[in-house]
Amino acid sequence: MHKDKDELERNLNIEEVAEMEDNDHEMIDKSNLVNQGFKALELIGQILANYPGHIEGRDKGKLINEAMNAGLRLLNVFIKQITSEKDYLLSEAQQVS
């Protein structure tokens, strides 16, 4: 890992390396938000499944609607990320095969 970074620093200027590191941190932040979103969806599902008689119908409907909307927002994040990283993903897939 350090050899790769040292080699990059020799071949690229420091600003380009810093930009790459910022992009890595941004991707990690997005991954953490997506993970939190999935955990929230899981929690809502467990609440709805385990306490069916304790939650009024109107409140269940709100929870289901919010969970569905959150799921769609998470899907949108995935689609945008894949679209923005299309060239990178294709090159990585070609290297694997």
For the chain, what is the domain count?
1
* Tokens describing residue 63: 């929870």
CA distance 26 to 94: 25
Residue 72 structural domain: 2-96
Flag whether pLDDT at 85 surpasses 60: yes
- Quick: pLDDT tens for 14-67: 666 566 666 666 767 777 888 888 898 899 889 889 988 888 989 899 989 988
Sign of CA dihedral 31, 37, 43, 48: negative
3-state secondary structure 3-16: HHHHHHHHHCCHHH
CA distance 89 to 87: 6
By the 8 A CB rule, do 74 and 38 touch? Answer: yes
**Residue 9: what pLDDT?**
56
